[in-house]
Amino acid sequence: MTDNTNKKVAESLWKLIMARGIVLVVVGLVLLLFPQATLTTLIFILGIYWLIDGVVTLYNTYKQKDVRRNWWWGLITGGLSIIAGLIVVLKPFSSSVLTTSFLMWFLGLVALINGITGVVTGIRIKKYHTGERSMIWGGIFSIVLGIILISSPYTSALVVVKVMGSFAIFAGIITILLANRVKKKAQEMENN
């Protein structure tokens, strides 16, 4: 590449990187400042997906009922998907609390089971002296996480949203700093 081409690439690149950094910071701020609204919006989008998926499933089931033996299964899943979608779309806030709570409770249960199996495995491999401490501590951490998620699922979800917001802001700031470095390089290339 010629120096002129490199300069143009660097010039456009820093603007793109800067835009991404700004978007990350804005998204992070929205997640931090409006965690409940973020959860409600995400669950509302999920509800719309369930609604559309249910309609498509019912349509495909109807079209294929002559060639599929278990076509009634499509009617059941499509119908349930439509019902779930309608509930979420008509009651977005209540649905966001219930759906989020269920998801966090499920994740908490998974963490609890993984933690228990981790501790048991750590105890079993203790005689081999091969990382049993990290396995046991990892299991204990997972058990504690599971208990926290199960005991307060909606609050846990809000904390997850806030952590995501914090990471987005941090990544945005790093990206903006990178954009400034690329801009500086572009200016140096221009001056040479």
User: Where do the structural domains in the chain lie, given as residue ranges?
Assistant: 3-191
**pLDDT, the chain, mean:** 85
Residue 82 CA to residue 88 CA, distance in Å, equals: 10
> What's the chain's length in residues?
192
The burial of 64, by beta-carbon neighbours within 10 Å (0-12 exposed, 13-18 middle, 19 or more buried), is given as exposed
Q: Report residue 93 as tokens.
A: 């806030």
Residue 147 CA to residue 114 CA, distance in Å, equals: 12
For residue 188, the model assigns a pLDDT of 81
Q: Report residue 164 as tokens.
A: 């995501």
The helix/strand/coil state of 152 is coil
Q: Which residues of the chain have pLDDT under 50?
A: none
Give one word for 91, left, alpha or beta, with left for phi > 0 and alpha for psi -120 to 50.
beta
Burial 2-34 (b: 16+ CB within 10 A, else e): eeeeebeebbeebeebbebbeebbebbebbbee
For residue 1, the model assigns a pLDDT of 53
> Tens of pLDDT along 80-120?
999 988 988 888 777 777 877 887 888 889 889 989 988 98
For residue 27, the model assigns a pLDDT of 92
Identity at 154, one-letter amino acid code: Y
Q: Report residue 171 as tokens.
A: 């990544």
Taking the CB of residue 65, how many other CB atoms lie within 10 A of it? 13
Give one word for 8, left, alpha or beta, with left for phi > 0 and alpha for psi -120 to 50.
alpha
Return the closest-CA partner of residue 85 out of 39, 40, 51.
Answer: 51
Q: Report residue 56 as tokens.
A: 């498509």
For residue 3, the model assigns a pLDDT of 66
The helix/strand/coil state of 142 is helix
Taking the CB of residue 135, how many other CB atoms lie within 10 A of it? 20
